[in-house]
Structure 1
Amino acid sequence: MMELLHKIWVVITTVAKILTQSRFSLIIVLLTVFSLEFVGQIKDILVGLNYPESRMQVVFFVLAVNWLAFQSWGWARYIYNRTQAVDGGKRGEPGYQRFLIDWLPRAYAIAAFVAAYRAAIHAQIDNIAYGIIAVGALVLIFLVYRRDIAEKFAAVLGKVSGNSMLYFTLAVMAVSTVYAIWSPVSFGGLLGAGAVVFLGLGSIIPAGTLLVSAARENRFPVVGFMLVLAIVFSWTNDNHRVRVIEGEKSHTDSLTLQESLDAWLTQRDPTKPMVLVATAGGGLRASYWTAVIMGRFQDQIPGFNKQVFAVSGVSGGSVGAVFYNAALANDEECVDSASEKPCFESKLLDSIGQDYLAATVTSMLYGDLIQRFLPVPVFSDRAAALEESWEAGFARIYPNADCGLENSFTSFFVADACGKQQWLPRLLINGTYEESGRRLLTTSFKVEPTTFLDTHDFYELNDQSALRASTAALNSARFSYVSPAGTFGKEINDDFVPVGHVIDGGYFENYGANTLSNLIDWLKQHSSNPPNENPFSGGLIVIAISNDSTIPLQQYDILAVPASAKPQAFLNEVLAPISGLANTRAGHGMLAYKQLAQYSEQLKSVLVGAENNAGASGDSDVAVDMMHFYLASNSEQPPPLGWILSEQSKENMRAQITEKHNCSGYLDILDRFRDREGNATAKYEQQSIGTDPCTR
């Protein structure tokens, strides 16, 4: 028995030794497979290949998959040949060793194709998936019979030396690294997210394998040393500082919420309801869904934005709100010259629905990765790359914009914003202060603790430094690890002194409901004012926008009993605190949503009482409604969470505003904007929904 156990142990240690020798190929391949299978923001990298303009990106993707396959195979072969640790060809040696040495590198190569195939299936691009399998099969045949092929074509292949392949590899790595660091937006936009991931991961293997080889020969633990170096340098090389506009201040400390309300009151229609919006987080799907709702009503109801006082956004919802405001600032009433139909929504969606993942993963795999091993900050980070990609994407659709996302966030809210006299809803961008765990608001006025309880003011903590609109949006959307925590602080004696880090607003509360409840409570004090000073003179509509289709619609009912969850069984003794903390995020958000709904119901009696006290006669016209727009999943695969959307997902979201579960709220809002004689003030109403299934 002991002899058998000894033999098993020898086999295990031998296999482990063989795997360890090619560990960089193994680690990168496993990382690729794991990320594309389980990491939500990475597994969607191929959905952009469905875009009509992405044909060249399909070619780049196939080339990049081959790059990763051949790098993982070739460098595993290199390390086995160089170390000569085990020679299964010697008489008396177990044959499985030679089998492993021959087939492990081939398995690494094929794993790259399997990962690409799975990603293509997930993205529902079957033709590319089958093409990947076909190419993978050809590569496997080549790897198995490469010696026979080399002999047959010796006259040609004899001119290609091992050094030539090494120089080619180093040249590709050098050119791609320089280009990716210099302009991650351009690099990612050219290749696409899928090609960037496979090219970037494949480029890590040569450097890592050469380091391992040198360490083995010099008996120096280079990998451990590099890890220690990265840990030590993390104290001094932080390149995640929140971007600011150098030399410009926001001066939000001198602006008040009351001034914003006064400005809104002077331009709104007092006979029409005030509109307040809470929009939840959820990556680009939240941004796009928010834009569908706001854009549709902007097209349906002339001057809709003039009735919207504020939008409280979280994560992707904040991004959608910032894009909406930027579109308003440049193209408030868009009408297509050919069809004479409204086009505000379509242009807004075109600006949001682009590939914003490619630039982010480019920076992550190149500049940000290299930065971890440098003692001081040198390269800009992936957060800046994402912000710049938003700026470029918006400019692509609005090329003549007076105010783009690269402009100061607060400049959108001055009286003559972008050279136009118009109202832009005030944005309450919800982030989380990592070190305190509290809400961190980025907005255009001073955040008073009497209104927003226990809340930090980002501008106050960041020295009143001006932020670009894109940066303000990301303050709410830094969901790890695709977007890093942002460092903010103050300049003291020309030195930057960190104060803390901003992370995704969803860590605190993912619906923006708490902030909107605080705002409504503040507005309530004006409910007894004369009509021209009463924000609720035409009533109130609260629009709540959610996008998580994994939560059943019934759970949003105020009195719904929370659904039971599957018990945690595996390692619960260890994982219970982590699991509990993670799941309270969703629980806090749902509670905040229901409290907002309950508060909205209670508010009507308060407003009716205030109106009666003010001397109103007859039946009260005050109406308070909360309309929930829910994003359902029309397939087994819910809309993705990352920074890229498939055409199918976008089409699904555009249709859902008038589907059964949203139809009533949609039509109720249109009804609330009819005049007192019942005439529709939505001038495009019939053209937009004449044949739509959304009917009463």
Structure 2
Amino acid sequence: MPPTSLFSWLGRVWAWIPAACVLLLLLFVSLLEVDAALGRIEAPGYPSATLGSLRLDATSQEAREDRRTAWCVWTETLPDETSPTRVQGTSADKGPADRVDECLKAFRNAGTAGRPFEPKTEGEQARQLIRVYVVLDLFFVALYTFLFLWAVRRLRSRLPRNPDNESIATNDPVAASLAIGSGWPVLGSLAGFLFVVELVEDCCQLALSRHGWTPDEVDRLGDVAGLASCAKWLLVALALVLLGLLTVRTRVLSTWGWPRYIGLIRLQAALAVVLLLLLTGFGMDQVQDALLALPDRVGTAVWTPVAALVFSLLLWRSVHRTALTADKAYKPVPQGYLALLAALAFVGGLYWLRLRAPAALLAFIVLLSALGGAAWRFGTQEGERGIDEALETATSRAEMIPEQDVRRAGLLSTARLLAALPLLALGVFAVRAAVATAVVGPHRPAAIALAFCGLACALVGVALPAGLEWAESKWSWAKPPTDQDRTSQPPTARDSKSQLYTVLAVFCVVFVGVSIYTLTDDYRWSLPAHAGPLAVLTFFLCVLLVLLNELQRWSERATPVAGFRLLGLRRTPVFSLLLVWFLLASSIDVQGNHPVRVTVDSTEAGPADLPDLTEQFDHWLDANCATAPAKGPLPLVVVAASGGGVRAAYWTAGVLDKLFPPTPITPAPDSGCEPTDGRAPVFAVSGISGGSLGAISWLARPRTNDPAHHRWVFGADHLSAPLAWMTYVDLPRSFIGFPGKDRAAVLEQSWEGRQQELKEDFYATWQRRGPYWHPLALLNGTSVESGCRVLTAPVRLGAFDRPVGPTSCARRPEDGTHGEKGGPTLIDVRGGFLCGRQDVRRSTAALLSARFPYVTPSGRLGTETCDSTVKKDARARAWLSVVDGGYVEGTGSLTAVDLFNELKPLVDCYNQVAGAAKCGQRRARTRKVELVLVQIDNGYSSVASETPPGRSGELFAPINGLVRAYGTKDANARQRAFGAFGCGNYLRLPNVRGPGAQAPLGWSLSNSAKENLDRQLKAMKDTRGGRLTLAGQRADARARCR
């Protein structure tokens, strides 16, 4: 078949276009993800690179150096997991940086330029990624070239023609020029050259993924690929210019009828876009990991596509409900009813403060309507100014769009297209989440299955509009309302058209109701955790769509009251009123509905009697048998655990379990030492956000040998339950203000359901001293009122915050008394905002450090619940709002340094004692104590070097400086800790980036993410010992510091 005939046939067969465009989109996002996975392969001290980031100036030496470095990093960094003989960290292989350095030397050494490379690691993951990238790119090139040819031929047929309709108009020079440019000689040459250069580039990249190349051959292949890439982008630019000119000249966009009716479906379009944006993740990796977790559980694998399908059908039918349904217009709400509602809202506001907002709003409308001439009565409003005209306008809006209206066909087709978007978006983003993991793992089979399921879901989305169009022509429940339905008496035909809409709405409401019911009490099973976070959000959008759609339909049918008519409004502005209600309610109820859960100790000696730091130091010395004869110094370990949600909790608990396992240790019978466990060397853990949660879980866990304990506790879905409570309960509560637990309590109960010890009181752990040593928990939050650190800890470290208050932490040092010491800008929770025998649960203490923005609300602490004696104190009127500790800094090392400053005099005093008690010490030293910091980081911090940025323009210099300065807060805290503890006593245990699945910042982990962290935990070893120990890590640190 000739090309012209082929495209003419395809022009008549439009069904293939959506599928081809979706396939092109899938290939594009897959290419981006595979390329991004290559960029996550890093070697210390060398820049990371992707295939798309390499320089286009292929002939320059800088571009050649970039390609060499990228090739060496890709092929020499990661060990070959299939070959156990190639392992990083052996005596013959010092690490990835050295291997990359040797690889680059081979390029520069003329004597080795002709010798084939002998890589020590094979770089199989990078090679596999490059091969997959090339295969995907070949399909992508073939498809977009074909679509480009088809689009140009279609646009060319729309160019102005001569009266004979056989040739392009010769009197139009622009059309004539475009006809020449879009003719087969020029168009075929452009497409052919474009395909050839893409093929050359892909062939060179595929060749570079093979073994046995010499440095010279690698350079030549890189040069050819670079030249082909330059030519490719030049040809792509020409193709885009040609498409743009044809589009403008043919005015094809002006033929679309969307501007005539898009206002009628603005709600459906907005919520569809909201779902699309949610699935993109807004730059966060939690959504992508939630998609990757779909095959992990049957519930999420079933409920997520079901929720997307329900949302699709509701989008479709809600358009019919909005514009294609005939309803009766309403008269204005009588003035008396408005005044009565305002009075009832005001009375309710005496108990629920947020009800004062609708009371004030309704009162304003009543007064405005009075100015507009409304009568003070409960009956009809005949005789009011402008009511007849307004009622006539409302009646016309309540009518359906008739069949002869040109907008009707456009609305029906747009409704079907909107219905395709949820399934299409779910499929595309599922493929994006799965593709890199499907190539390099971990859990490749599940990722491959997800990729195919995502492809199927996207294709179902493509086919859905055609299926709905067929259903509209065959089945009565799917047919849109007609003019005959509008006049049917009784309206049985009209009612049958809304049955599907009603059934779907009821189904969504039932899902929401069951979700709330299973979360109301501390149930072991909940529907949101079973369905997954994506299903929870999608069902929320379904309910929101129905609710707002009915409100919008009511505003179209209802005649506005006199007050709105006075302002010139033709309909009741329900959405604006809701927004004003929300803003007013938030302003009126400044204390909010998110108090921190507080417990009361029923024993006589409540947690107010806590030991001071000196007593805790003495207890630690006893637990570590400091007076027993032994060789070497005794390390006093302070742990700093970085934030990062459940990823940080999982990593922190896993590292601590491996380095300090909580198994019992029985001392020798004649040693005189106390029984203890493997946690004894740790004096305190300073945690931020998820690091605090991991630390408190490790501190609270039983004294048993269970290496998988962290996986049981934090491997569960802790996101869906608080997300459901936030959308189903807390969001309506923000309008009304009814009492009850909030999503923070739901999250705490989710943790407690996996580890019962987290229900126990926090401060009581140290108030009641037992036979074992309990490391101190220093959990860091942030004060909303002052921006200072908020410390939940059994000891007091604050310096300039007496008396304690929400802003006292900012007091100047010179205002303190002589000899004041401790951590500045730090608020003590126990000393200022808990009183008497009050305590908090361990889960609550952890969440005070881990309150993410909006996912968990700020926690309000105050003394309004204290007894009458304490209320006489001035501090009883104080209250504090606490958010995530990462607002100040995300490493936990700032408070660790504050603790160091308090401990160092005690340690120095103890170390100076030689056979007699001095400095207040009650024992003789036999072993020297050394302060050691273990920094646990979990954020996949990059080890690659960064390209020096150019000078910022003066216009954006202040903004760039502010952003860069904020970005250094964690580095500043780490460097301060490094300087305090010293190089040999600073141990950093981070996780590292890799091309496969990465654990997200959030509250749920996929199996692939958990496996990634577990593999890194398993691979974490000392250089010489073959396992992870404190002594081995200290020896490695001292070796690096020489």
TM beyond 0.5: yes
The verdict on how the C-alpha distance between 1:74 and 1:153 changes in structure 2, with shifts beyond 3 A counting, is closer
Report if aligned partners of 1:35, 1:43 keep a CA contact under 8 Å in 2.
Answer: no
CA distance in 2, matches of 1:665, 1:232: 64
Report if aligned partners of 1:281, 1:317 keep a CA contact under 8 Å in 2.
Answer: yes
Match in the other structure for 1:364: 726
Match in the other structure for 2:510: 175
Q: Does 1:598 align with 2:979?
A: yes
Which SS does the other structure have where 1:366 is aligned?
A: helix
Match in the other structure for 2:266: 23
**Match runs of 1:320-399 below 5 Å:** 320-327=694-701, 330=702, 332-334=703-705, 343=706, 345-374=707-736, 376-395=737-756
Report if aligned partners of 1:280, 1:511 keep a CA contact under 8 Å in 2.
Answer: yes
Structure 1 runs not aligned, ≥5 long: 335-342, 396-403, 555-561, 603-623, 679-696
My pick for the range that moved more, 383-392 or 647-656, is: 647-656
Match in the other structure for 1:653: 1013
Report if aligned partners of 1:354, 1:644 keep a CA contact under 8 Å in 2.
Answer: yes
**Match runs of 1:103-502 below 5 Å:** 103-124=413-434, 125-150=450-475, 161-184=496-519, 186-218=526-558, 219-234=571-586, 235-236=588-589, 238-245=592-599, 251-252=607-608, 254-270=610-626, 272-299=634-661, 303-327=677-701, 330=702, 332-334=703-705, 343=706, 345-374=707-736, 376-395=737-756, 404-415=757-768, 421-449=771-799, 450-464=821-835, 465-491=838-864, 499-502=879-882
The verdict on how the C-alpha distance between 1:19 and 1:153 changes in structure 2, with shifts beyond 3 A counting, is closer
What one-letter code is carried by the residue in structure 2 that aligns with 1:150? W
Report if aligned partners of 1:523, 1:535 keep a CA contact under 8 Å in 2.
Answer: no
Match in the other structure for 2:1002: 642
What one-letter code is carried by the residue in structure 1 that aligns with 2:265? S
Which SS does the other structure have where 1:501 is aligned?
A: strand
**Match runs of 1:584-623 below 5 Å:** 584-601=965-982
CA distance in 1, matches of 2:878, 2:952: 39
Report if aligned partners of 1:409, 1:468 keep a CA contact under 8 Å in 2.
Answer: yes
Q: Does 1:62 align with 2:305?
A: yes
Q: Percent identity?
A: 24
CA distance in 1, matches of 2:514, 2:955: 45
TM-score by length of structure 2 reads: 0.53
Shift of 1:538: 4.4
- CA displacement, residues 609-635 of structure 1 (integer Å, 9 cap, x when unaligned): xxxxxxxxxxxxxxx521111211221
Shift of 1:210: 0.4
Structure 2 runs not aligned, ≥5 long: 1-247, 326-396, 435-449, 480-491, 520-524, 559-570, 666-676, 800-820, 915-922, 1036-1042
Shift of 1:405: 1.2
Report if aligned partners of 1:475, 1:504 keep a CA contact under 8 Å in 2.
Answer: yes
Which SS does the other structure have where 1:543 is aligned?
A: strand
The verdict on how the C-alpha distance between 1:535 and 1:224 changes in structure 2, with shifts beyond 3 A counting, is farther
Report if aligned partners of 2:271, 2:545 keep a CA contact under 8 Å in 1.
Answer: yes
Report if aligned partners of 1:255, 1:445 keep a CA contact under 8 Å in 2.
Answer: yes
CA distance in 2, matches of 1:535, 1:639: 45
The verdict on how the C-alpha distance between 1:153 and 1:583 changes in structure 2, with shifts beyond 3 A counting, is closer
Report if aligned partners of 1:510, 1:585 keep a CA contact under 8 Å in 2.
Answer: no
Which SS does the other structure have where 2:542 is aligned?
A: helix
- CA displacement, residues 385-422 of structure 1 (integer Å, 9 cap, x when unaligned): 11111111224xxxxxxxx21221123324456xxx32
The verdict on how the C-alpha distance between 1:211 and 1:127 changes in structure 2, with shifts beyond 3 A counting, is same
What one-letter code is carried by the residue in structure 1 that aligns with 2:637? V
The verdict on how the C-alpha distance between 1:152 and 1:468 changes in structure 2, with shifts beyond 3 A counting, is closer
CA distance in 2, matches of 1:131, 1:440: 50
What one-letter code is carried by the residue in structure 2 that aligns with 1:322? I
How many corresponding residue pairs? 605
Report if aligned partners of 1:73, 1:108 keep a CA contact under 8 Å in 2.
Answer: yes
Report if aligned partners of 2:281, 2:288 keep a CA contact under 8 Å in 1.
Answer: yes
Larger Rg: 2
Q: Does 1:537 align with 2:928?
A: yes
Shift of 1:263: 1.8
What one-letter code is carried by the residue in structure 2 that aligns with 1:108? L
The verdict on how the C-alpha distance between 1:359 and 1:584 changes in structure 2, with shifts beyond 3 A counting, is farther
Shift of 1:209: 0.4
CA distance in 1, matches of 2:503, 2:709: 44
Higher RCO (CA 8 Å, separation ≥ 6 residues): 1
Report if aligned partners of 1:280, 1:546 keep a CA contact under 8 Å in 2.
Answer: yes
TM-score by length of structure 1 reads: 0.78
Report if aligned partners of 1:507, 1:585 keep a CA contact under 8 Å in 2.
Answer: no
CA distance in 1, matches of 2:497, 2:749: 40
- CA displacement, residues 19-39 of structure 1 (integer Å, 9 cap, x when unaligned): 332232222221111122133
Shift of 1:258: 2.2
- CA displacement, residues 494-522 of structure 1 (integer Å, 9 cap, x when unaligned): 89966231111011011011100111111
Report if aligned partners of 1:50, 1:646 keep a CA contact under 8 Å in 2.
Answer: no
Shift of 1:282: 1.0
CA distance in 1, matches of 2:256, 2:783: 47
Shift of 1:101: 1.2
